[in-house]
């Protein structure tokens, strides 16, 4: 059976561990909030209403693509594209091409940064492999002007960071929502985690100090992973109602039956759901 992502791919290792995935979305949650197109996330109201629920639904879709057979992954990508098209039709405007690329670029950057923080450094061939997976995802969604390889992507990533980010009222409101849904302690942990993976330009816009209090904790966390106590810590750092979702993120072998059921949702039904 042919898969969208090879079974021995480094991308499966990255997206098959809950702690890595959580750091991916910790970093992305900061960069999302700074993006000049963040108003699109406010149009449906879903992200500010429940950012954690939005996180886990996004993780679920990403994992479908990473762990599904080729056809199932293509269906999941097509559904995502159709959802965005329906939102555009509802608003009567198009999401800018650069905004789509920004989201794709976040997934590339934070996949690499989170894995290198918690596991090991990636060599250039592994980084190229990460890039190739998301390049194919973007190509399937019809994104234009994507570089052919990782080395070509690096300068474009820097260009996007310079041109597409700003601190705005949406940034401040999103961070208030993060604090509201996480609580003060967990929110502070989120900020310290973001400092470990965001680019310097993102940290500067957020007025982050360069040092993270979590930095000396990472070696201890790696030790806890070896003795299987890491889940206790993760359960402490996220609200209890999300324990099942956290546990599910550690199951790298995603069930094909679930993927088929979710990917087979009629596009017309998906359109109706996303417009609610």
Tens of pLDDT, residue by residue over 61-78, are 888 899 999 999 999 999
User: Each residue of 138-187: pLDDT tens digit?
Assistant: 999 999 899 999 999 999 999 999 999 999 999 999 999 999 988 999 99
Annotated domain spans of the chain: 10-274
State residue 229's pLDDT score: 65
Q: State the average pLDDT over residues 83-110.
A: 92
Q: State the average pLDDT over residues 190-205.
A: 96
CB-based contact 63:12 (threshold 8 Å): no
CB-based contact 41:32 (threshold 8 Å): yes
CB-based contact 31:106 (threshold 8 Å): yes
Cα 206 → chain centroid: 19
User: Each residue of 4-48: pLDDT tens digit?
Assistant: 999 999 999 999 888 899 899 899 999 999 999 988 877 777 777
Cα–Cα distance between 54 and 81 in angstroms, integer? 17
Cα–Cα distance between 246 and 242 in angstroms, integer? 6
Q: What 8-state DSSP symbol labels residue 30?
A: H
| pLDDT score of 257 more than 50 | no
State residue 38's pLDDT score: 87
CB-based contact 248:15 (threshold 8 Å): no
Cα–Cα distance between 258 and 139 in angstroms, integer? 25
Buried b / exposed e across 70-92, counting CB within 10 Å, b at 16+?
A: eebbbbbbebbbbbbebbeeeee
> How large is the greatest C-alpha to C-alpha distance in the chain, in angstroms?
53
CB-based contact 165:35 (threshold 8 Å): yes
User: Which two structure tokens, joined as six digits, stand for 102?
Assistant: 């920004």
pTM over 0.95, yes/no: no
The model's confidence at residue 266, banded by pLDDT at 50, 70 and 90, is very low
């Amino acid at each position: 059976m042919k898969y969208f992502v090879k079974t021995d791919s480094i991308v499966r290792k990255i997206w098959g561990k809950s702690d890595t995935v959580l750091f991916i979305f910790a970093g992305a949650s900061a960069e999302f909030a700074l993006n000049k197109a963040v108003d699109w996330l406010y149009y449906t109201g879903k992200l500010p209403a429940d950012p954690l629920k939005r996180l886990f639904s996004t993780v679920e879709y990403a994992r479908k693509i990473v762990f599904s057979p080729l056809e199932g992954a293509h269906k999941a990508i097509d559904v995502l594209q159709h959802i965005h098209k329906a939102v555009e039709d509802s608003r009567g405007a198009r999401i800018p091409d650069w905004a789509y690329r920004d989201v794709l670029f976040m997934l590339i950057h934070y996949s690499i940064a989170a894995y290198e923080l918690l596991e090991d450094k990636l060599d250039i061939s592994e980084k190229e492999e990460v890039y190739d997976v998301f390049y194919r995802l973007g190509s399937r969604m019809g994104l234009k002007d994507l570089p052919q390889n990782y080395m070509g992507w690096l300068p474009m990533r820097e260009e996007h960071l310079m041109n597409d980010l700003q601190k705005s009222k949406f940034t401040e409101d999103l961070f208030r929502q993060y604090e509201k849904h996480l609580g003060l302690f967990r929110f502070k942990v989120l900020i310290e985690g973001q400092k470990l993976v965001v680019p310097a330009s993102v940290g500067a816009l957020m007025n982050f100090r360069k040092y993270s209090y979590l930095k000396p904790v990472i070696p201890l966390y790696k030790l806890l992973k070896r003795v299987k106590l890491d889940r206790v810590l993760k359960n402490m750092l996220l609200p209890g109602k999300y324990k099942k979702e956290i546990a599910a993120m550690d199951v790298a072998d995603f069930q094909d039956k679930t993927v088929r059921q979710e990917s087979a949702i009629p596009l017309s039904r998906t359109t109706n759901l996303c417009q609610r």
